[in-house]
Structure 1
Amino acid sequence: MCGIAGIVGPGAERQQAALDRMLAALEHRGPDEGGRWSGPSALLGIRRLSIVDPVGGHQPVVDAEAGVVVVANGEVYGHDRIRARFPDFPYRSGSDIEVVPALHRAHGDGFLAALPGTFALALWEAGPGRLTLARDRFGERPLYWAHRPDGLLLFASEPQALRASGLVEVEVDRAVVAQQLRQGYVPPGRSIWQGISSLPPASSLRFEVGGQPLLERWWSPPEVVEPAGGVGDPVAWFRTALDRAVQDQLVADVPVGTLLSGGLDSSTVSALAARHHRRIAGFAFDMPGDSEVPYAQAVADRHGIDLHVLRPSPDDLVDLLQDVARTWGEPLGDSSTVPTLLLSRFVRREVTVALTGDGADELLGGYLCWARPFLHPDDPARAAAGGSAPAPSRWWARGSRARRTGGRSVPAGTEVARRYADFRSYFSAAELVGLGLPPASGADVDVSGYGYGTADDISRFDLDHYLPGDILVKTDRASMATGLEVRAPFLDVEVAEGCLRLPARWKVDASHEKLLLREAFGDLLPPQVVARPKQGFGSPMARWLAEPAVADLVRAELTDPGAPLFDLLDRAAVAPYLATPDQRLWNLLTLALWWRHHRPGAGGGTAVGPQP
């Protein structure tokens, strides 16, 4: 992975100092080397973490004959197969990114549909003076941009780099602050800053010098296909597709390992990786009082994986919280950011690339076990029973039939997503107003693309919102802070599209989620791993909040009249939330710490510079 940045527009080539500042702000993402290209109306730069062809794979990649220049953060999986399709392209190295201009030559503006892998890229066409920014299908790699009134367009992998340019004037967006507190993360496609935009997943932005940016969606999730996703035998298809994805993502010219929590997803990826990589290293986090290490060890023993276990000390928790606040360009209330950052540091000591199980929950119904209170709002016993009740499988799988028959009141289509957004909220609209913020609610969420049936709508909502807004942001920022590249085989385009086409009955029943994964790969895993219920990679948040040092931090950030947070929120309205060590208090604390480090004048950006 890398950090990319650039400036395009009238006189952009005169903004070398601004690009210097942007790249300096991204050095943690690419500690190995830097590169830049300058031409009329365009500056493109990169900080590179060298993974494929470390010696020859420099960026920017220039196709001089076509007048095309590319900088990209990410990996093109299976790039050797693409090279074989275009043997006449003048390749100069073994870099995977060189296939991007090759695909652009072949497909023109449609090249993104033919591009597999994970990426955030910028492609400059010198002839027409046109920039294309694009982001991968699920938002694994970040990309932000800003358009100035004088016609300059700037882009970067993180918002801090845009602020560091000295060319972008920002102020906090209070409506987004409300949404972030409400759900714990900044919504995909939004930014915490007015004046900076986040490019949404599966989207492109085209900009011609002298014109206006045009935002387009270049990919959409496929619809459900009956009877079995159009693949004949879903189990056989899944075994082949995921195994191929893991093989593709093991390709690197640096050491590779896996994040092995002991859960079903990471255990499957690790078992498949061990098939193709002799004595691969696996990495586990031993959470005191909630350890999954015995499960991870069982997988490691079965497949000859060299397991490394991190056993953290709580003594440096306050320092870690401050590190997270400094590292994340936008606030994130997910308490697992702390163990994720710790684990990334630990893993990077041994390997440069790590495969993970991210994406399996959203594609295979993994979160539906937590959604039962949403599905049973008037039946606490059934909601608490979890998998013991037979009814949920009927509701989840029957979809539009339930709506036609007018049976039990299960919300349909877009209403499922809207109500589910409220169900996953930590603050009500009224509580946000009380804090002095706009009244964010489920009504603010774009739910126009739903209507497949309750199970599929919930999973697709998490795929569109929670995965790119929380999970992938957490993984990207933590790994990039340490020079580690994390790859997610479940988000391989063939695997993901195939899973999305499958009806819900292939994924969940009354007592289990991720049925397809258990059926396809259960024989590779120890029985106790296959049978165990869902357990997220979380943290003992309540216990952490009770730690004396953290309690002191809470008092300093959430009660001191001079605390920066009260630039944003009403101090008296914050006070009632201090009594309960829950997610709402954690969200307030992480927002306070982030604002302390990134508010204007705090060092998170620089003053607005002169006009070009």
Structure 2
Amino acid sequence: MGETPSWFVTLPDCPCPPLLLRRLRQYARYGVAHPSGRPWLLGSWPADRMGLAWGDTARLAVAGTCAIGPAGLADRLRHVRGLADVETAVRDVPGSFHVAAAVDGCTYVRGSLSGERRVYWTTVDGFTVCADRARTLAWLTRARLDTAQLAARLVTPYLPYPLAGGAMWRGIHGLPPGQALRVEPDGACHTSTWWRPPDSELPLPEAASGLRTALREAVAVRVRPGEVLGADLSGGMDSTSLCFLAAEAGAKLVTATFHWGAPGNEDPLYARHASGRLPHLARLVLPPQSVPALFSGLRERHDAPDEPSAALRDRLQQRYIAGSMRAYGAVRRLTGHGGDHLVRPPDAYVHTLLRRAPLEGLRHAAALRAHRRWPLGATVRMLLDSRPYAAHLAGAAAMLRDGVGRGPVPEGWGPWPCLPPWASDEAFGMVEELLGAASGEPLAADRGRHAWLQQAQQAGRIAALITHETTAAGLPAHSPFCDDAVISACLAASPRETGGPWVYKPLLAAAMEGIVPERVLRRTTKDHCGQEWQLGMRLHRRELAAWAEESHLVAAGVVDAEPLRRALLSPGLLGGGAADLEFTLGAEEWLRDLAARPAPACLSRETPVPRTEPEGVPVEPTAR
């Protein structure tokens, strides 16, 4: 049985619309008031996921996984004289958390750098309300679904910045990661930047030392000595590194390793080698026949997250693993998600390297071209391209119908967005309009750094969806690679030493030297579940055909029925289009879940708790 998700909203220090306040009070278990006595923070959360500190003129809250407790937070609050001091108060604190503050009538709120923890906001009668969940605001304000955002969620491999941060409902705004929202006492709001990428490009030994420290702290904050943790042990470098760091911090581990059926699968070999060097370990080795097939459970309906997810592919498998880990006493699970996105720069770094060190840049470009099989003409055009980010977005809109990003082509400021062959003309038009209207300000002036940050934010989005799924399954997952400090440590590394095709993940290998077995750090292969994917599609062809016949995406006008039906019934003809189909199925399932369960689980009417007025401290729930 999964646990109820936590949630919170922040309110400005001005009169709240009565209807909105009544709806919030109906569901919130706890509340904290502004120094003025007006409601500031309302919601429901476990005590260990919300740190609170309050003084005569200020309030400070951290929601999530944080290395400091209430006493440490109270000590830091004493140095806060205004909102400008808030980030100083939480600087260098390991973990993944939201930050909220109320000082002298002003409110401040932001999420995490990766976007694993998001902030959304909307206005009701001129009143600005912020939340950690878009669905909370959509439900409270009865917002309508934004069809353009639905069409955009069909894009592969992912939407370019800032479109990826858009909310799925009209009138609900997503705050971009790295930005904070400030609300004045009169209700006026504006954003500010609380984080900027590091300027330095550290040599590999120095960067590896910083990553080792950041990862060690990120894991340690999630470990209590002697506690049982579940952990993925794929045999790859990312998950194996977390296992050894967790053991170092004193955790007892129960690990899961899939044994996929592809010939030459090496995951179990590397996982077995690593497990022999891990103390206090219980191992789950899972051949395909021991777990539910991929795409099982299509008839089940779930609590929808803030946006579509491709989790339907292996949801029942992950639920099975979570149950097995809980049977061994695991209280949470560590996942290596984010490592692939963060520990090596995307190929766009070569564009900047060519301008700083032409000969070295050409050597890297030639090696990448050979490794990625880029066409010569496309490679030359990428290297010579000097268009600003706004022109890149305009070009992406103009080329959307050409499917430029489907072949092995080099990236510009990031991957070229593509829509699947079954997307409707209306979907193409809406995504083109979104791209044309998007802000032309990049995440960093350097396109390699911009692409790296964009990749980190994609990792955070997926981590948030993983957390939603695993919390519902009763064993919340944590992704330490998506912590702010880990991201900063990776981005501080020199791309010329951590990129290129010659060595696999040199930054992480150097960081884990002496901690993870050398054989794992030298691994260059990566296994896949292609056979199991095709088998799952065949086994569930009847359910998929039913989805095609009564598609909610078709009803919304973003997908054409016949091409979708052909793709679902003959997935073997897709070639490299598996991601297209998974994104589409994720969006279809999301619409079906919303229709079946319109109220978010975190605002369930089944467990309302009467409350008293917030008085500046957490309000304990009263008896019913």
TM-score (norm 1): 0.74
- Residue 148 of structure 2 is aligned to residue 169 of structure 1: no
CA distance in 1, matches of 2:554, 2:73: 42
Distance 1:317 1:250, change over 3 A: same
Alignment of 1:291-370 (within 5 A): 292-309=267-284, 311=286, 313-314=291-292, 317-319=295-297, 322-323=300-301, 326-333=303-310, 338=315, 339-340=317-318, 343-344=321-322, 346-348=324-326, 350-365=329-344
**Are 1:270 and 2:265 counterparts?**
no
Question: 1:185·1:333 contact (CA, 8 Å) conserved in 2?
Answer: no
Is the 2:467–2:478 Cα contact (8 Å) retained in structure 1? no
SS state of the match for residue 329, structure 1?
coil
> C-alpha displacement at 1:236, in angstroms?
4.3
After TM superposition, give the deviation of residue 13 of structure 1 in Å: 6.9
Quote the Cα distance in structure 2 between the aligned partners of 1:169 and 1:253.
46
2:63 paired residue number: 73
Q: How does 1:197-208 map to 2 (within 5 A)?
A: 197-208=173-184
For 2:242 and 2:380, locate their aligned partners in 1 and report how far apart those are by CA, in whole Å: 40
Cα-to-partner distance string for 1:218-263 (whole Å, 9 max, x where unaligned): 112223436x27xx74444444444344334435896544333221
Structure 2 Cα separation of the partners of residues 278 and 253 of structure 1: 5
Q: Residue type matched to 1:356 in 2?
A: T
Q: For the Cα contact (< 8 Å) 1:61–1:71, is it kept in 2?
A: yes
Aligned amino acid, residue 343 of structure 2: L
The residue aligned with 2:582 is: 586
1:362–1:462 contact (8 Å) kept in structure 2: yes
Q: Secondary structure at the match of 1:177?
A: helix
Native 8 Å contact 2:294 2:533 kept in 1: no
Q: Equivalent residue for 2:16?
A: 11
Query: Aligned equivalents of 2:412 and 2:324: distance in 1?
Result: 36
Alignment of 1:330-479 (within 5 A): 330-333=307-310, 338=315, 339-340=317-318, 343-344=321-322, 346-348=324-326, 350-365=329-344, 392=365, 409-410=382-383, 412=385, 419=411, 423=415, 425-427=417-419, 431-433=423-425, 435=427, 438-440=430-432, 448-450=442-444, 452=446, 456=449, 458-464=451-457, 466-469=458-461, 471-479=462-470
Shift of 1:551: 1.7
For the 8 Å contact 1:433–1:439, the answer to whether it is kept is no
Distance 1:408 1:210, change over 3 A: closer
| Correspondence for 2:557 | 568
Q: Give the Å deviation of 1:17.
A: 3.8
Tell me, yes or no, if structure 1 residue 42 matches structure 2 residue 17: no
Aligned-pair CA distance for 1:490: 3.5
TM-score by length of 2: 0.72
Q: Distance in 2 between matches of 1:483 and 1:101?
A: 34
Q: For 1:366 and 1:208, how far apart are their aligned partners in 2?
A: 39
**1:97-121 deviation line (CA, Å, top 9, x unaligned):** 656645635x642322442331124
Q: Secondary structure at the match of 1:314?
A: coil
In the TM superposition, what is the alpha-carbon distance from 1:477 to its structure 2 partner? Answer: 1.4
1:306 CA displacement: 1.2
Match of 2:152 in 1: 179
**In the alignment, residue 113 of structure 2 is paired with which amino acid?**
R
Give identity over the alignment, percent. 18
1:306-364 residue CA offsets vs partner (Å, 9 max, x unmatched): 134274532694426745x5342321236666355554555455333333333332332
CA deviation string 1:410-445 (max 9, x = no partner): 265657896457745441699552657514487658
SS at match of 2:239: helix
State how many pairs are aligned: 535
Instruction: Give SS of 1:585's match.
Output: helix
Q: How does 1:482-521 map to 2 (within 5 A)?
A: 482-521=473-512
In structure 2, list runs of 5 or more residues that go unmatched.
352-361, 370-378, 397-410, 572-577, 604-624
Q: Which SS does the other structure have where 1:182 is aligned?
A: coil
| 8 Å contact from structure 1 (residues 13, 42) kept in 2 | no
Higher relative contact order (CA 8 A, sep 6+): 2
- Aligned-partner residue type, residue 593 of structure 1: E
Contact 1:76/1:97 (8 A) holds in 2 = no
The code of the aligned residue for 2:115 comes to G
Contact 1:300 1:307 in 2 (8 A): no
